[in-house]
Structure 1
């Protein structure tokens, strides 16, 4: 009986539970329906807000173009009265198009006057002094009510036109300039909406307005009130109307918010390329620049097969870029390249870079390379001048990237090549570039052509970022980079921005993680938490880096992200950030320490296992890989050499082997007849070679020939990959090298003045070579090796020949003779006509020398100054002095 009662209660309980579950399901359905409605409302609000933002951007951009046309209108009327008719008609057509798109209210106030006869137009409410001047000019008048704040934002280059307008200097009033920090004088006549112009008798006639505002700025929230010609009959035209009128074509070109038009580009030949883009070039310099990309007449890439990100720096060298602006651009490039080199040294992110110019001459100044030193000086021999053919510059580098660029796989996400344009944004056409000055000639059409062409790099997947220098056109450059090409705009006056650009490749792993995290999230996670988690493995990243990563999420990945988070607490490691060097390029490039990386007990960067894994996941999509040495930068005493099992089996060349191309090497896959060093393994039987010319390549070992030739150093080189080394004056590592006279080979040269060395015992370690003024190694030349084998010190073969040596006086008033490489470096500095100081080394001591004044200053904390001199002697005498120096400092 009790069991039956229990069963009945259980049935009742189950029925209650079932009923409760049904009620809960019903409530959940109601809640889900309400949430769905809320989502629809929220989606509609986002769409409306997106449309409002788009209209706001288009309106702001159109106002800027109207201001430029108004200034052109004013200049035409005052300087070239007979040429102002087409400009005025174009202005009227643009106004009409704006009205058709509801960018201007249809019931706007009529404040423009178009007079169709030849009688003189009246000027209402005009100051008497200006009225006589305007009346004597015998010109028609159109009164355009443009907001005073917009009118006052004219670029400073137009201030030079004031002298041609006969405007009294006492009529100039200081107005704030958004670009220049000091107030710039703007004529009082320009703050009035009454702008005199010449009107053709064929211009459309519009009744004169009864209201003429005088020096009254329109409120910012209001729309500019403009007088429009009569509207055409029929429905309003769309931004992509096909009617062939100049105004509509121009407005269609300027509209960049709906550039979905696909352009079929023909890269088979330079002629077909330009024809497919509908670009007509007559200037031979421009034709030659484009041809060089297709015919390889220009500089060839230094590393045609190197993997990693490809970046082209496109520099404006036109006459609008003065000497001061160019010096700033060079400093920006120097800091940019330095930061890229840091990423290559510490994170094994080999980024190939090229430098191109556009101006009086368009050319590829430096082809793709990951030897970053030549990139910093690629612009030293260029010539400034000419117009600003940005269109041809972009056409040239786009073809160059199409030929040599490739994407990189970042955790399953493709990272495309990028173009970094450094310019002031003052664009001109590309005809007769080398013979005319860089003045604004039909600037709006030139900019519209640039905006139209940007569809090509966008279709190819390239990103375009812009760096503004001088008094740049921020709206135009921002429109190029952020609106169209998934790039970013940077102020070139802030050297910190150069570092952000240089860390772009380094940010990509974090961007991939953020994208994956946000795609799988419910949208409730804190963006700051996501970013901090994604960047946790790189402890050297600061708040400014996280802010840049968030901005890249918006521009590059098009993720919907809220505002940038406020600065967080300082890094717990307390590591100093690298500061941009701001010295002029004419001064010697003083090496600086890159971003600090936590150091291990041996003083080498302590790369955590998680960071190793993150770096190792970056796999280029092409077949060639540079040496991946990130795994060797650990705290292990004996880091494992990848591929050692293949070496022991004798099937793959060992690291450090010196090789020369074999006779059976396929054409085009070698570097002339240079020798190189095996620095990594790609697969069994395939090795990575770094040639002495600093190029990389992956080859079948059967196509290479082993040699015993020592690595030869140039006058300005102190140590390079492939050099034989032994213990130096600051050696403190015990016998891990295998003994006092054991020679190892350099596999990698790092930015922080350290090198990675392979010893015969297969131990690979990292040693200081100039870091903290310590030299743990000494380079062994072939001549020294032969002398050591014979028990003699090297003597120059032509003992009677007079040679030049440089000496410095130590604190004991003894003259110390610099090594041959350092003396050669000083002499070359003088022979090249360079001024300023140069840094040389003398057995671990760094000296900043001024050969012109014969002075030096000891570095490394002592800051002791002294004398130096040039010493001419026979080769035998100099060799003896240097042998004594080696014996004293050993």
Structure 2
């Protein structure tokens, strides 16, 4: 019975009347259909399973699509048990070898799944798994454990459960109720297990728990953050939707390499290094950049937006991603690796793509030159679908150069073709500047950046009479002027005002170190660049 969705917990449920969970069953084989809609009549469900015919293909994608329609409004099928928010569990019993989803008669042989079919399955299960845990039960003589581990691993709290552990899985609800009663603090100091067991003994002194139950309760407590409310999950999904999407063909494509541009005013957010375009914001004229050195992702202006015209916080460059001890990171160039089994998703052999995201479970997101983005294994299940490119190989250099020049055609003058000096000038932000003058460490796309104060660089000397200066130049002749360099700023009315003594001293230190340097200062709670 390849590709059957149903809760094997019903065998345990029927013996525990205190557990009342509705179970739906979908079968996929010769036909993909509902065997039972949501019901708590466990004996009836067990009887209907006896009539299932084995054989035929394994159209898992079709089964998950049917399931997605059943899940409907996620909020309506979530329940709270103490601080745990429980969402519908999905149990897949399969050999993990999906076929394309078409109906065939009983005399036809099972079809072999295509790489496109596998890609579709991963996409569908990935969407469902953002909310619902997927437990995969391997069956058959030679199940594809790698596929089942991948499907369960990308879901929220799912895992592979072997058939002999079915009864224990059925006790999940019971153990979850117990875990919700405990009081504990996870400190990740190696003593969490003992703290949870101590709380269990103190909370339920008259109950006995098997070793398996204890392990399950500890596991549930350790994974408590996964049992969050739908509001939190929806916020996570919305945040992710801001990333890794190419919304505007006029903007630099995903994977483009960038560094600070002519209108940069964000302090050291980039750590003075290059980054990678990982998304187009919903707000017109804004990109999201992942910086190499600090892994941070922030939005930046590129072109015109509803509030400003022709503002370029970043410029396209052809600087490669240089790893410093990491195995792989956003911005790295990759090609097919030793375990590649995804057909021509990359556009053909020897095609180069750019890494956009690296997950902790050994899965990476790659954007190929033709614009398609897919996830691949880079350590997951001991598989390596990708191979890192030498960043200085002729192929890599040509790829980066071509990508940069293609953007230059859309926005002439906004690439790093002849802007080395501009970057060097902005590279020397003084570390001596007042902490209050530092640029914000995080940026929200709804907060518009402060305009750069246009001040001509040069030496301005303080007049001892302290009169208001209305011209950009101050005479330096005569005895009434100090020999100390005094810096001035001009307000919106064109009136020149002196910087404070403290700010002036620090600007002079930076100026003495490098006359072409750029200095960030704070004026009336606003950040400006001199």
Q: TM-score range by the shorter chain?
A: 0.3 to 0.5
Structure index of larger Rg: 1
Query: Would you tell me which structure has more helix in proportion to its own residues?
Result: 1
Higher RCO by CA contacts (8 Å cutoff, separation 6 or greater)? 2
Relative to the length of structure 1, the TM-score reads 0.23
